[in-house]
Amino acid sequence: MPHQHLLTLSTRGRGMTDITARVAEVVRASGVVTGLAHVFVQHTSCSLALTENADPDVRRDLETIFARLAPDGDPAYRHDLEGDDDMAAHGRSVLTGAGLSVPVGDGRLLLGTWQGIYLWEHRTAGHSRRVVVTVLG
Amino acid sequence: MPHQHLLTLSTRGRGMTDITARVAEVVRASGVVTGLAHVFVQHTSCSLALTENADPDVRRDLETIFARLAPDGDPAYRHDLEGDDDMAAHGRSVLTGAGLSVPVGDGRLLLGTWQGIYLWEHRTAGHSRRVVVTVLG
Amino acid sequence: MPHQHLLTLSTRGRGMTDITARVAEVVRASGVVTGLAHVFVQHTSCSLALTENADPDVRRDLETIFARLAPDGDPAYRHDLEGDDDMAAHGRSVLTGAGLSVPVGDGRLLLGTWQGIYLWEHRTAGHSRRVVVTVLG
């Protein structure tokens, strides 16, 4: 039977939180040797990203890129009930995705040396976020 | 053995169709209690999106955002055999993806309260679309 | 037990390489009849895309679209240690994703007629790339 675990994380507003170690711990606890780890956020205004884990400027520049792709406070938006960052957050979420899978081999996440798993908060205010990790072997 | 089911849907041109209930029904029929539901479109000019299921303006604003990211009828495109929306549809498809996975727990899709699964038609004309749902437990 | 195989590919710089046949061969070798094939690149400056496999102009136009979304040498970037294409490559990687899953049925990849699986190199120079294929049944 697959192993499933709910992580709850508090974000501090727009930006990325490295959750690689949290996901790796669920994989270890699962006992799965070969398979797949699936990570999923139960929200539509944050997302997950696999990106470079060494230079924080990469995450900063990703904010620059995405701020252009789905800008805050665009006058063309109709959905702005929760503020200028509301629709932008939904746009960024669809562009990057609520879920991602990483292969598991030798009982651990088969990430490349420079890959980290990040929870990407797209709202400007901090939120409590639910992340479901499912490990199949 | 995983459970697999083919859904066939008719779209009415560009826009999103909520397929959450259809996918949930396949999960129920599978009998899987804990695992993963994978949804996949066998096409390169429509895609899948997980997004806000309450306010239709969100889906409208997503069209606004994506119309800028991969505009119709861009003179820089070479591939336009099927019209102004042809290459734009391929671009939107690559940006959003042909597949997505949702965790299954307690025998049901573990979606957040505001998350819906949408088939996103990117062509301006309606099409018949094939969606393969695979449930692993 | 899931079947897992590492593919190593040499790219010739920015552009797409069709890896559908390589992935299909791993699926055949796995003996899995019904399930899921997961493909994953262990890098943050290349990615995977499922797109049209008939007209090479589609891949060319996708380069045009993505060159605008995450432009090379943007003066707003801080991360440029490896050149003008460095940060652009990370941006394209997050937009398209390091992993994708394709359903397996009747012992083969359930791709649509026009769908191909592509390794998308985002750096201008060629690189050796590691692709992990995991087949679950």
Residues in B closer than 8 angstroms to C137, CB to CB, are 1-2
CB pairs under 8 A between B and C: 95
pTM: predicted TM-score of the whole model, two decimal places: 0.98
Q: What is the CA radius of gyration of chain B?
A: 16
Of C4, C41, C81, the CB nearest to A105: C4
Closest of A100, A113, A123 to residue A23, by C-alpha: A100
Chains in contact with B, where contact requires at least 3 CB pairs less than 8 Å apart: A, C
Contact B115, A42 (CB under 8 A): yes
Query: What digits encode the pLDDT tens for the residues C91-103?
Result: 999 999 999 999 9
Note the pLDDT of residue A49: 98
The CATH number covering residue B71 comes to 2.60.120.460
In this complex, which of B42, B94, B132 lies closest to C62 when CB atoms are compared? B94
Q: Which of C60, C65, C69, C119 to mutate to test the interface with B (most CBs of B within 10 A)?
A: C65
Q: Which residues of chain B have pLDDT under 70?
A: none
pLDDT digits (tens, 9 = 90+) for C125-136: 999 999 999 999
Q: What domain count does chain B have?
A: 1
Residue C32's pLDDT is what? Answer: 98
pLDDT in tens, A25-84: 999 999 999 999 999 999 999 999 999 999 999 999 999 999 999 999 999 999 999 999
Q: What is the pLDDT of residue C1?
A: 87
Query: Do the Cβ atoms of B79 and C58 come within 8 Å?
Result: yes
Are the Cβ atoms of C111 and B2 closer than 8 angstroms?
Answer: no
Dist. CA A114–CA A46, nearest whole Å: 22
Could you tell me the residue range of the domain that residue A87 belongs to? 3-136
Residues of B in contact with C64 (CB under 8 A): 74, 76-77
**pLDDT for C26-72, tens place per residue?**
999 999 999 999 999 999 999 999 999 999 999 999 999 999 999 99
Provide ipTM, 2 decimals: 0.97
Residue-level pLDDT at A105: 98
Using CA coordinates, name the residue in chain B closest to A130: B112
CA distance A54 to chain B (A): 25
Q: Nearest to residue A57, comparing CAs of C82, C61, B133? A: C82
